[in-house]
Amino acid sequence: MQAQIASDVAQALNVALGDSARQQLAARPTQNLAAYDAFLRGDQLIITEGKTDIVAARAAAAAYRQAVQLDPNFALAWARLGRAEALRYNSGDQADSVLQSARHASDRALALAPDRAESYYLQGFIKSNIDGDSHGAADALERAWKLAPHDPDVLSMLGSFVSVLGRTDEAVEHYAEAARLDPRSVLVARRYANVLLTQRRFAEADSVASAGLRIAPDNSDLIGSLLTARLARGDLAGARAALREFLQHVEPKQFIATQFGYVWLDDSLQALALRLPPSAYADVPAQGLLALSQVQWNAGRYDAARASADSARQPFAAQAASHPDDFWAHYALALAEGAGGRRAAALTEAERVRAIYRPEPGSPGWTAFVNLLLQIDLASGNKAGAVAWTDSLLHLPGPTTPASLKIDPLYAPLRGDPAFQKLMARK
């Protein structure tokens, strides 16, 4: 069934405007034409083109903000504004003003339209992208689904959220319905490719992501899924070919800012990334330092990587102290503490992440948590722990495979370890 869904999605992704977008164009949710025009500009970016990168999120937020300024009672624009602000926050714009704007937009959307699915969609989106509350996100999307049972955006997002909780069969059903309702949706393709990756269905993920890129060739999430699928199968040449094609449609600096974890695939791209300041990765300096740290690590510059991440520690510590329930602040602080060799402090922060995130053992959410523990042990020099966590990842949902261990530079410090070599030799 899953292979058929993936095939149907890939075959149907042939025109740029999906059915859900057409339906939205047919029903004008405001009488203010200028507000509606601004709303459509925002939707073009994050709905029709399915973009989540920080540049698109900022532009979409500006458009939606203009829409609600022109029509303060435009409920759907408030819901979209909150969504764009949550995307900004998740992509690195983690100023308090962005967080407050997302939550204010959610309050306004719910007050204006308590019976609209989009109001609860936004609640779930914030719980997932800002709060790290996967259970709460799924609950909110299930409420949205009851209000809009035939909305592909709602169905596919619900599929993503329940997949994180390990409810794979439900996720597949939701994606099947979303694909049936709007098989040309870039949003559905992007989310479904990610779920296929967690299910280790790499060929199908490749097919869906490739088809999506034919419609939206500058979509950074889709290229990330495609590169991941090919590297998981050990197809380094295929990954590099996909990256070369993608760079025909975006500027190198844009790719670096949105997919810095893959710049090692191209020597000239990596050299450029290493020269860029933290501000090229994110407006928030600490976020930029963490991103640069990953680029440096993948380039084999381990001391520089640790120094960059360690420099981000104090700002993240202050953010975590002032926002004790901020999932991302604790996550980033755990990485920074580990990079500075403070493993015990890093594990304390990781436990706070687990308490907020509440991942189900064996689920994709648990995979994300184990990845955090792996990175802490790698950065702090605990090779035995890093090897053990890598072994765990090979048995969990996600793209970690023996083939990827051989080529992903994240694991380069472990390749001389006999225990790690046994992991690479697995079939």
All structural domains of the chain with their residue ranges:
17-199, 277-424
Distance CA(138)–CA(131), nearest Å, equals 13
Residue 367: which of 88, 142, 168, 140 has the closest Cα?
Answer: 168
Measured at the CA of 407, the angle between CA 230 and CA 226, to 5 degrees, comes to 20
Fold for the domain defined by 277-424? 1.25.40
Tokens 């440096």 belong to 296
Round the average pLDDT of the chain to a whole number and report it. 90
* 249 within 8 A of 217, measured Cβ to Cβ: yes
17-199 and 277-424 agree in CATH topology: yes
Distance CA(35)–CA(23), nearest Å, equals 18
Contacts (Cβ under 8 Å, ≥6 apart) of 418: none
- Mean of pLDDT values over 144-170: 92
Span 289-322, pLDDT tens digits: 999 999 999 999 999 999 999 999 999 999 999 9
Of residues 176 and 123, more confidence is placed in 123
Residue 347: which of 389, 409, 314, 403 has the closest Cα?
Answer: 389
DSSP 165: T
Q: Is the pLDDT of residue 13 over 80?
A: no
- Calculate the alpha carbon distances from 247 to 75, 179, 243, 345 in Å: 38, 28, 6, 40
Contacts (Cβ under 8 Å, ≥6 apart) of 382: 343, 376
Distance CA(75)–CA(208), nearest Å, equals 33
CATH match for 17-199 among 3.40.30.10, 3.90.1170.50, 3.40.50.150, 1.25.40.10? 1.25.40.10
Residue 148: which of 86, 88, 76, 68 has the closest Cα?
Answer: 76
What's this model's pTM, rounded to 2 decimal places? 0.83
Span 67-116, pLDDT tens digits: 999 999 999 999 999 999 999 988 877 788 999 999 999 999 999 999 99
Ranking 34-43, 141-150, 184-193, 381-390 by mean pLDDT, the lowest is 184-193
282: phi then psi, degrees, rounded to nearest 5: -165, 150
Two tokens at 261?
A: 């974890």
User: For residue 237, with 0-12 CB atoms within 10 Å meaning exposed, 13-18 middle and 19 or more buried, which class applies?
Assistant: exposed
